[in-house]
Structure formats: structure tokens, C-alpha cells
Amino acid sequence: MTERRLNIVVWNEYVHERGTGVPADLYPDGIHGAIADGLRASLGTAAVVSTATLDEPEHGLPAAVLDHVDVLVWWGHVAHDAVSDELAARVQQRVLDGMGLVVLHSAHYSKPFRLLMGTSCGLRWREADDRELIWTVNPGHPIAAGVPAVIPLARHEMYGEFFDIPAPDELVFISSFTGGEVFRSGCCFHRGKGKVFYFSPGHETYPIYHDAMIRQVIGNAVGWACAGESSGTQTGIHESPNGWFEQ
Ligand code: ZN
């Protein structure tokens, strides 16, 4: 019997790469293209990796597509408000029903992530070419598999605390910066039947998604977030007479 291939979609607003401010040779196929290439390399034949962008009809994620996604990867920054509330709510519901969601960099402020967190998801930031060190603080976690104690990024945007998220269910990475700040840069959350991983590296002006270790983390995260066989447990509100589970 052939095993079903995982259905992975990388979503990107795809605005910066088509404007000014991002070196043209950095992401010629868009940030989504680079992330998807990395996932194809790390997941091989186990997954079908496709992409979707804001400009496409229904932002590239009509129900017919979204309903069959195992893990959705999300990158957004300047166009969070252009994402329809309807799609944000559908992504939230799909996570509650078991879809995995990997939220990257400035998508900490995206509609779906904020809906799932229920907090402002605000943070400190600075674009000043800080060196970032990503510290693995949970080396036994599946998302840290094959990842060294420290991933150095020679230059990156600083994201610092306080990051207004609920306490993560599992914390995998903490970053430190030249300026002295620290940040919870790799955070796991369970919501309903689904899993959410937030990973902060990925500012659009740096070649972050070409970095082998960053690709390793994102590949691991997709594997971790994958729903697998769904539990028979029902979510929602159910009137339950005595003995209902024995019938
Ligand atoms: Zn940024």
C-alpha cells in the first residue's frame, strides 16, 4: 500500500519581493518559492509542496484547497490587513480541526496567528544588522533534530521581548542579539486538535531561507505539525447522558 503523501502549502503575501527594498537576486521566486524548495529537499517524496499567494483568487486558499492541507506555512508582513477575515477564520478552524500551522517571522502579527493566540502578539524590533544567535533550549524536541546548539545568523532584524503571546506549550529556541535583547524565537502551541509552531527568523532583506539550518528547522517543524491520524475525540459541545462513551 502506498502511503499518502503529505499536502504542504507555503503561503506568502508576496509583496516585498516584487517591490523595492529587497535585493532582486535574493528571492527571485519569492520567499514562498525559497521555503518550498527547502521543504521539497528535506521532505522528498513524503510530501507534495505547493505555494499560494495573496493575489490569487481567495488568496490561493479556497476551501477546496485548504480543507486538504496537512500543514500550512505562513509568511506575511505589510499586507496582513489585506487577508480576508473569512480566510483567517477558516485557517483558525482548520487548525482546531487538526491542520498544522507554521508561522514565520513577521507573521507573528498575521490574522490567523493572532486569532489562535488571543493576545496582541506585539514585540520589540530593530533593523540594525544585529548578529542573531538562535539557541536550542529543547534539544530532545523533534523540531530540534539535527540542529546544533546554536544557529548563528550574521545579520538579521532584532525581534525582542516582551513578545505578547500565551506561554508556549513547548519552547524550542531562544534568540539573543548583538544589542543584548533576547526573544522566544521557536514556540510550540497546541490548539484544538492542531499544532502551531512560530519561528522568528526570516526578515525579507536577508538570505535567511537559503540557510541550511533554518531549512532544517522548518522541515522539522512541518513534520512535527503534521496531524497524522486524527483522534476519534470530538471537539465542540456535546450533551452527554450518563454512559455515553460505553455505547
Ligand atoms: Zn522583518
The answer as to whether 29 is a domain residue is yes
The answer as to whether 108 is a domain residue is yes
Among candidates 47, 78, 66, 93, which has minimal Cα distance to 223? 47
The answer as to whether 11 is a domain residue is yes
pLDDT digits (tens, 9 = 90+) for 35-86: 999 999 999 999 999 999 999 999 999 999 999 999 999 999 999 999 999 9
CA of residue 240 to ligand 1 center, whole Å: 48
234 φ/ψ sector (left φ>0, alpha ψ -120 to 50, else beta): beta
**Grid-cell match 544585529, residue found:** 130
CA of residue 64 to ligand 1 center, whole Å: 31
Distances (CA, A) of 88 to 93, 166, 195: 9, 19, 16
The answer as to whether 246 is a domain residue is no
* Grid coordinates of 49: 509542496
CA distance 53 to 9: 10
The answer as to whether 32 is a domain residue is yes
CA of residue 106 to ligand 1 center, whole Å: 6
CA of residue 145 to ligand 1 center, whole Å: 26
The type of residue at 46 is A
Coil, helix or strand for 102?
strand
CA of residue 128 to ligand 1 center, whole Å: 11
| pLDDT value for 100 | 98
| pLDDT value for 21 | 80
pTM value is 0.96
pLDDT digits (tens, 9 = 90+) for 184-210: 999 999 999 999 999 999 999 999 999
Confidence check: pLDDT of 20 > 90:
no
The type of residue at 177 is F
CA of residue 205 to ligand 1 center, whole Å: 8
Instruction: Please say whether the beta carbons of 29 and 92 come within 8 A.
Output: no
Mean pLDDT of the chain: 95
The answer as to whether 17 is a domain residue is yes
CA of residue 200 to ligand 1 center, whole Å: 9
Q: Which domain holds residue 62?
A: 6-119+184-230
Among candidates 34, 60, 74, 87, which has minimal Cα distance to 221? 74
Number of compact structural domains in the chain: 1
Residue 30 sits in a domain of what CATH number? Answer: 3.40.50.880
Instruction: Please say whether the beta carbons of 93 and 194 come within 8 A.
Output: no
pLDDT digits (tens, 9 = 90+) for 99-123: 999 999 999 999 999 999 999 999 9
The answer as to whether 168 is a domain residue is no
**Grid-cell match 493575489, residue found:** 55
**Grid-cell match 502551541, residue found:** 189
The answer as to whether 166 is a domain residue is no
